[in-house]
Structure 1
Amino acid sequence: MKIHSPNSQDFINIRGQLFSLKEPVVMGILNITPDSFFSGSRLNNEKVILEKAEKMINDGAKILDIGGYSSRPGAKEVPVEEEIERVISALKSIKTHFPNTICSIDTFRSIVAKRASEYGADIINDISGGTLDKDMFSTVSSLGLPYIMMHMKGNPQNMMQKTDYNNLVFDILDFFKSQSEKFYLAGGKDLILDPGFGFAKNIEQNYQLLDQMEALQIFNLPILAGVSRKSMIWKKLGITADEALNGTTVLNTKAILNGAKILRVHDVKEAKQVIDLLH
């Protein structure tokens, strides 16, 4: 495994500029899809996208995460050209109006990552951790972009049938060890780990993982936590995703205390408040 310097968790290199993670940062979710699980995050025209992006930036988001393929459990397959069209259209608009904003692209397809990089994408966020596209690691390496590696088994269509583990946390650590070695062998550099709350994990497993998330610090890499309005909150409380902001804030607090450097959220202002109060 690649040996990291003591400050590997504190900085990533984005297009030749050091981006600080000494204090946690907020990543705002921009779903350019009609079927995301949280209705408040569905964006379908340029005006709405730009209004949402501007609000997130003003509320304190340091990164905007643009996705054109809903990854909720059981989500429908999206043709690659449709995903590209959704992502590129939003990315072009945001980079035109907010050129200094760091944009992450939420995709598991290397061709989408490559096309998005041509329009200024700064980070690739892969829910499959490189398991759904054999060319992803070599593509990210050639682009020289930071890569968010999430843990998932299967794909969005079948992942909730794959919740069996010998030992949940150890199995996830093994996954990251194996995949990160492949990533570095392909020439990749800046790596961020996402334990993948809600992906091939049931409610109890999500809370076990959150409790033991500190174990991921063994890799000395930045950790991203994405619990925003997920079913681990609203199913547990017997409410809806629309009512899950308070629960999200509670779990974001715990995630920061357990080592998260990036909070991926729908509600930027409240997540930034968590960080401000804790730091």
Structure 2
Amino acid sequence: MPTFFSNSTISVVVVISLSGPVYAAEICQGFGPQAPRDITKVEGTNPQSFPFAPPATEMNLCNIHIHTNAEHKGPGFSRFVGDGEYGGYKCNESDYLNEAELTDPTHGKGAFKGVKPGDTIEVHWVHTSCQVAPGKSLDACLSDGCANPTLRVETQVFLVVNDIGAMDFNDLAYGGNIVNGLHQPKYIPSTTGKPVEFLGSTTGPSYNQFTCSPLQVTWSVRPNCAKVNYNSLNAWAENGNVFEEDHSDGVRQLVKAVELLSPIR
């Protein structure tokens, strides 16, 4: 298991082997706290801090996107899938689905690519302090007059199933919903445990512990999985959405170095 340490000039990963320590890549320096993380662990020693974002209801929804498998690790999604772009974690109930829930009615030809029944996904509802309309990618979260926004990501991990009794993703999407003059998702699950809130960064497979993200994000991660209907994801993609989302993204592997994490209060 890697051991992390630092001094005033360098921070490295030391991989312990039978023949002695092997020095690997340098942990990124000078960046604020990173994400994703194990939300059951509160330790973090990153010295940089910034104010927590306002509640999502006081910000504009600017983007919704989806990752295959959970980027974060939590009580309800602790089963490690593997390293790499489509690794991460899966819901603990993944191995207990019945045949009907695992049946793919599209035979691999669903409109939302990269996901099938039985998969785990992590959904990010990104909110911004900028006065912008929802759109494609995180570019929609800023503007020429608001290049350094306050960002908040509301997060829910889902187990994708072939079951009309599961949540309908279209009920969780945007669809032009405006509340008190602000763009808002229609609904975010409220029955999957109290969200764990912490300071971090943007995620995605282009970042790791050695290539860090510079953006500052307040995260709100719900600790348990919910089930979402596979056909509703396909309908969201097939009918078109303002985010132009039609596939699931890869993951950033878990950040474990406490030097890169904020403390969870």
Q: TM-score range by the shorter chain?
A: under 0.3
Structure with bigger RCO (C-alpha 8 Å, 6+ apart) = 2
The structure carrying a bigger helix percent of its residues is 1
TM-score by length of 1: 0.24
TM-score by length of 2: 0.25
The structure carrying a bigger strand percent of its residues is 2
Q: Which has the larger radius of gyration?
A: 2
